[in-house]
């Protein structure tokens, strides 16, 4: 019984981890607290729905298309909204408010187009596999595989590729990177596109699993933020692990009490981390910055 | 006529919410997303005291104020150790926790079923029952809030708070215990938010947790962003503008099914526009830039 809940938790956590990894890339490079990440997430899910049901594309190419468009969308949000604020040297509150406003606008446009109700992408019973006493569905396997592949790929890209080094340099010290003549704008664009793409992958995998409504993005973004802080800001991979842990904890809470305290568990974790170890579990001890 | 008066009551409620959040946002420079939690807890304490224990409205009200001040203390002590984005996230966590508790602690709060049959305020045989009477009661509350904050902003306390917002290190170097100032600001802000909570509960006579969500917190922030922060007139103007916009939409014949979404789009776009073009709001003294 416990094992089943842990496996379910890992699958849910895989999606949280992907969204959190994306959020962490964006936050570290740009210092923008990107609530609109949730809007990108929801948009990706609806794009998938549109391609599959209206344009009758089969599901894998439809998802690839949705991810690509979502990455573009994230990139455009930065270019159109956050970058001008950064150029004006506005502070953190201005960008938080802007991202909240953007989130509200985008999800309500989605609601106007597709309706407020939950849409199911696929019906029928999902194919399952039995491993010992644990049952996993095909979608859950896809979730775990996608997480592992993208997590490892992201780690390798960050470590060894030229652009990965650029992103790490900018997130470590933006001013120094700029002074050294590194391409800050390129790092921003990459972070937004890649981070939004990761969220979109999670969105597509969640959409085929549990369906879509316009408001799915906000809880995921909040969980991703908690995962990012839990794991430790500045360590990109830590956000992904934070996501996994939150997924497991949530499912254990469901197992022990009931589903209604799931959200509460996440935020109790956040408060505990913020109060006792605000630098996160995996970050070397360091003073917290102003913003 | 009742329609106009109803809008007036709602404006009065949000005006007080705006004024009380302004103490944190505009004076303390503390970006809190937990204001709907205080509004909700104020509404629930007063409603439950009236319904379960037969309290008079005017007796339940001070209890609600004190309850919200204690909750504010509980929120402030851990949150204020954090800065910037972390502080905002901590308040957001509290907002979500309070909502979850209101929604799930069914034996006490009645959860999603809500509290119904909340009696009308009564004082010395006189009953506040009609909409116009609520509008007058709301005006009294709003006037009290304006008077309180006017006094506060003119006082040394208000000036120290402003100094902390502009340069906390400087305030510390002048020997001010900045944490104490911020905690008391939180408590005053939370306590005042209980007033519109209790008024709302008595006015609509039914409350449920969905009136006190994160969206509601964001809405109160919106009215300050639009009107302006750091003075009295900003939130007042903001409350009028933000609440009158949907009423104007009514005359555009937008179908009811899409009206809430259209309203939200306008609010969201307003925030984005204000941040880009006028980060200090229409009449604010303090910019979010």
CB-based contact B275 A98, cutoff 8 Å = yes
Mind telling me how many Å the CA of B8 is from chain A's nearest CA?
26
pLDDT in tens, A33-49: 899 999 999 999 999 99
CB-based contact A264 B267, cutoff 8 Å = no
Does residue B226 lie in a domain region? no
Q: Which of A69-78, A245-254, B127-136, B206-215 has the highest mean pLDDT?
A: A69-78
Closest CA to A34 of A47, A42, A43, A25: A25
Q: Is the pLDDT of residue A267 over 50?
A: yes
What are the chain B neighbours of A102 within 8 Å (beta carbons)? Answer: 268, 272
Q: Which token pair is A175?
A: 């001013």
Q: If you measure CA to CA, which chain B residue comes closest to A233?
A: B86
> What architecture (CATH level 2) is domain A2-276?
Orthogonal Bundle (1.10)
pLDDT value for B9? 94
Does residue B137 lie in a domain region? yes
Interface A–B counts its CB contacts (< 8 A) at 130
Does residue B279 lie in a domain region? no
Does residue B93 lie in a domain region? yes
DSSP state of A136: E
In whole angstroms, what is the distance from residue B40 CA to residue B17 CA?
11
pLDDT value for B186? 94
Higher pLDDT, A21 or A289: A21
Q: Is the pLDDT of residue B73 over 90?
A: yes
Does residue B99 lie in a domain region? yes
Does this model's pTM top 0.95? My answer is: no
CB A202 within 8 A of CB A147: no
What are the chain A neighbours of B289 within 8 Å (beta carbons)? Answer: 88-91, 93-94
In whole angstroms, what is the distance from residue B28 CA to residue B185 CA?
7
Structural domain that includes position B108: 2-211
User: pLDDT confidence of A284, banded at 50, 70, 90?
Assistant: low
Q: Is the pLDDT of residue A285 over 70?
A: no
Q: Is the pLDDT of residue A281 over 90?
A: no
pLDDT value for A116? 86
What are the chain B neighbours of A85 within 8 Å (beta carbons)? Answer: 275-276
Q: Is the pLDDT of residue A199 over 80?
A: yes
Quick one: which H or E segment has residue B52?
helix B35-53
Q: If you measure CA to CA, which chain A residue comes closest to B218?
A: A100
pLDDT value for B204? 93
Domain count, chain B: 1
CB-based contact B269 A93, cutoff 8 Å = no
* Partner A contacted by B218 (CB < 8 A): yes
DSSP B170-236: HHHHTT--HHHHHHHHHHHHHHHHHHHHHHHHHHHSEE-GGGGSHHHHHHHHHHHHHH-BSSSHHHH
Q: Is the pLDDT of residue A288 over 60?
A: no
Quick one: which H or E segment has residue B275?
helix B259-277
User: pLDDT confidence of A291, banded at 50, 70, 90?
Assistant: very low
User: pLDDT confidence of A127, banded at 50, 70, 90?
Assistant: confident
Most distant CA pair in chain A: distance in Å? 59
Q: What share of chain B has pLDDT > 90, as a percent?
A: 58
CB-based contact A274 B89, cutoff 8 Å = yes
Query: Where are the extended beta strands (E) located within chain A?
Result: 128-131, 134-137
Q: What is the mean pLDDT of chain A?
A: 88
If phi over 0 gives left and psi between -120 and 50 gives alpha, with beta otherwise, what is residue B207?
A: beta
- The three-state secondary structure class of B8 is helix
- The three-state secondary structure class of B165 is helix
pLDDT in tens, B177-235: 888 999 999 999 999 999 999 999 999 999 999 999 998 999 999 999 999 888 889 99
């Amino acid at each position: 019984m416990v094992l089943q809940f842990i496996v379910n938790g890992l699958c849910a956590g895989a999606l949280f981890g992907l969204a959190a990894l994306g959020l962490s890339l964006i936050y570290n490079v740009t210092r923008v607290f990107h609530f609109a990440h949730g809007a990108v997430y929801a948009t990706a899910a609806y794009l998938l729905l549109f391609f599959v049901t209206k344009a009758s594309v089969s599901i894998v190419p439809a998802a690839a298309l949705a991810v690509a468009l979502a990455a573009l969308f994230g990139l455009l949000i930065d270019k159109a909204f956050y970058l001008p604020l950064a150029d004006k040297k506005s502070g953190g509150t201005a960008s938080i408010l802007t991202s909240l406003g953007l989130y509200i606008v985008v999800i309500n446009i989605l609601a106007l187009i597709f309706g407020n109700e939950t849409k199911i992408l696929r019906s029928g019973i999902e194919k399952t596999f039995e491993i010992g006493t644990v049952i996993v569905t095909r979608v859950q396997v896809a979730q775990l595989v996608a997480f592992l592949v993208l997590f490892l790929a992201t780690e390798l890209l960050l470590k060894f590729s030229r652009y990965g080094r650029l992103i790490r340099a900018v997130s470590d010290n933006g001013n120094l990177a700029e002074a050294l003549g590194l391409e800050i704008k390129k790092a921003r664009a990459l972070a937004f596109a890649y981070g939004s793409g990761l969220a979109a992958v999670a969105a597509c995998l969640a959409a085929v699993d549990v369906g879509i409504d316009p408001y799915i993005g906000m809880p995921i973004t909040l969980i991703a933020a908690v995962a990012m802080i839990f794991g430790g800001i500045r360590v990109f991979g830590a956000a992904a692990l934070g996501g996994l842990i939150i997924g497991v904890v949530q499912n254990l809470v469901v197992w022990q009490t009931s589903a209604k305290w799931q959200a509460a568990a996440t935020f109790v974790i956040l408060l505990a981390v913020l109060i006792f170890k605000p630098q996160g579990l995996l970050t070397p001890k360091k003073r917290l910055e102003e913003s | 006529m009742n329609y106009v008066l109803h809008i007036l009551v709602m404006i009065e409620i949000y005006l007080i919410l705006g004024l009380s959040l302004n103490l944190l946002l505009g004076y303390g420079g503390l970006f809190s997303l937990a204001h709907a939690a205080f509004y909700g807890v104020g509404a629930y304490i007063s409603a439950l005291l009236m319904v379960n224990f037969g309290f008079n409205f005017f007796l339940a009200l001070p209890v609600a104020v004190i309850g919200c001040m204690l909750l504010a203390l509980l929120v402030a002590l851990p949150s204020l150790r954090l800065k910037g984005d972390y502080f905002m996230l901590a308040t957001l966590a509290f907002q979500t926790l309070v909502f979850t508790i209101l929604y799930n602690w069914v034996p006490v709060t009645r959860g999603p079923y809500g509290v119904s049959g909340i009696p009308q305020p009564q004082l010395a045989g006189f009953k506040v029952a009609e909409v116009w009477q609520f509008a007058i009661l709301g005006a009294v509350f709003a006037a009290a809030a304006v008077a309180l904050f006017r006094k506060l902003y003119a006082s040394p306390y208000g000036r120290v708070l402003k100094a902390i917002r502009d340069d906390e290190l400087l305030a510390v170097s002048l020997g001010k215990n900045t944490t104490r100032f911020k905690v008391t600001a939180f408590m005053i802000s939370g306590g005042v938010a209980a007033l519109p909570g209790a008024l709302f509960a008595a006015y609509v006579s039914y409350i449920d947790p969905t009136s006190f969500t994160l969206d509601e917190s964001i809405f109160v922030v919106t009215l300050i962003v639009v009107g302006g922060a750091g003075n009295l007139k900003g939130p007042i103007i903001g409350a009028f503008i933000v609440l009158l916009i949907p009423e104007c939409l009514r005359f555009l014949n937008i179908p009811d099914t899409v009206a809430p979404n259209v309203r939200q789009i306008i609010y969201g776009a307003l925030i984005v526009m204000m941040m880009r073009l006028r980060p200090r709001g229409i009449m604010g003294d303090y910019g979010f830039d």
